[in-house]
Amino acid sequence: MRAEQNQLLTRTGPDTPMGQLFRRYWLPALLAEELPQPDCPPVRVRILGERLIAFRDTQNRLGLIDEFCAHRGVSLWFGRNEENGLRCSYHGWKYDITGQCVEIPSEPNNPKLCQRMKLKGYPLIERGGVLWTYMGPAEAKPPLPEHEWAMVPAANRFVSKRWQECNWLQAMEGGIDSSHVSFLHRHTMKVDPMFKGATQSHKLNLGDLAPHFEVVESPGGLYIGARRNAEDDKYYWRITQWIMPSFTLIPPRGDHPIGGHCWVPMDDENCWAWSTNHHATRALTREERDAMVAGKGIHVPLIPGTFRPTANKDNDYLMDRQAQKEGRTFSGVEGFAMQDASVQESMGPIQDRTRENLVPTDQGIIMARRRLIKAAQELDKGIQPPGVDPAHTRVRSASVLLPRSAAFHEAAEEALMPEPGSSHATV
C-alpha cells in the first residue's frame, strides 16, 4: 500500500475523505444504559475526532452537542442537566438538545444574543440498546440501519463496547481476517463457554489450517468466504459479512448466537470496539448472558467504571507465558477479543501498511480497502456510498456445508439475506 492510501484510509477527522464517508452513516455512539433516565449526568463522547457531550433531558429527549460552552469554552460535562437543558456551571449559560443556547442569565434582556449562540449538535436516537448518531449533512441523512441484532427483542441480544488503543482500520481488518482463527484462537475455541458444544464446527475449523478465501462484493460491503475441506465431496464455508463502513458479522457455530462487531473511530489513534451477540429465534440463555457479562466470547472484562479492558497494553495484556508454553492459550493472552486487540495494538497506533507483505488469504482485507477508497472518491462526486440503505444491513453471516461445485454466495443466498425470524444457517 502506498503511504497516501494509508493516510486516506486511517484519517477520519471532519475534513478528511474517510471522515466524510463515516459521517454518511448512522454510527453507535453510546450504550443506552449510559444515559439511563431523564436529567441524568451528561456523558463525554469522543467520535470521529470530535469532543461532544450527550445528555437526556427532562422530557426524555436525547442530545449530542459540542462539549464546550460558547461563552468561555468550559466543558459542559461539569454542567447541570435540569429543566430541559444543560446549564454550564461556570456562568449559567443553558443549551437544549440541539445545542441552541436558551438562556444567558447575565443578559436576560438580550434574546437576539442568546439566539445567535448555538453549538454544533447531532441527532441521537435509541435502537437496539444503543444510541446512534448521524454526523453528516442533514439533507443526506439516511433512515436508521436495521442490523438484525438491533431489531430482535432485548432478550435475544447482548451488546458491549470497549476502548481499543489503535486506529480503527487495523482493528476492523482483524475482524475480517478469518485465517488467524486457526492459530490465535485455536485453544480458546475449545474452552470458551460461548463456543461450548460446537464440536463439528471446531473439528472442521482445525482440520484444515490452510483455508481458501473467496471474496465477493455484496450490496452493502463484502461476502468473505473461508473455504475448508469437509467430507462427502463438500466444502465447509464460513461466510463473514462486512457491511460498510465498519460492521462485521461472524459466522455462527452450532446453536450459539451470532457475533458481530463495529469499529468507530474516536480519533486517529483510538477507536470504540462494539461487540454484539444475538439469536434470531430465541432468547439468550442465562448461561450465555452470564458468560457475556463476565467478558467471555467476543466480550471483555473492563476496569470498573470505565470501558478500558482489564488486560491492556500497560500490563502487557496479562500475558501468561506458562499458559502459552503449555498450550492453554496459543498467544499467552486470555480471551478472543483481547487476543485480537493485543496483536492489533502491537502494530502501533497507526499501522504502516507500506511495510506489509500480503498473501492470498488477505483478499478480504484488500477488497475492503479498495471498496472504502472507491466509496470515499465517489462520495466526493456526489454518489451515495454502499451500506447506507437499510436493506444492506438486513443480512446475516452463515456457516454451511456446500457442494464443491457451488458458488458459495449464490448457494447460500437465502442464509445471507434471510427472512426475518428465520433460523440461522450454521454447522
The CATH number covering residue 210 comes to 3.90.380
In a domain, 20, yes or no: no
Q: What is the pLDDT of residue 146?
A: 97
CA–CA dist 129, 15 (Å, integer)? 30
SS3 192: coil
CATH number at residue 94: 2.102.10.10
Give residue 179's pLDDT.
65
Distance separating alpha carbons of residues 24 and 42, to the nearest angstrom: 25
Asked if residue 192 is part of any domain, the answer here is yes
- Overall residue count recorded for the chain in this entry: 427
d(CA 10, CA 354): 13
* Average predicted confidence (pLDDT) for the chain: 94
By C-alpha distance, which of 377, 292, 372, 366 is closest to 335? 292
pLDDT digits (tens, 9 = 90+) for 22-50: 999 999 999 999 999 999 999 999 999 99
What range defines the domain where residue 166 resides?
148-416
Q: Is residue 283 part of a domain?
A: yes
- The answer to whether residue 10 sits within a structural domain is no
Domain assignment present for 1: no
Does a structural domain hold residue 335?
A: yes
- Decide which of 419 and 183 is more confident: 419
Tally of domains within the chain: 2
- Residue-wise pLDDT tens digits, 127-139: 999 999 999 999 9
CB atoms within 10 A of CB 343: 16
Question: Does residue 297 have a pLDDT over 70?
Answer: yes
In a domain, 320, yes or no: yes
Q: Is 253 part of any domain?
A: yes
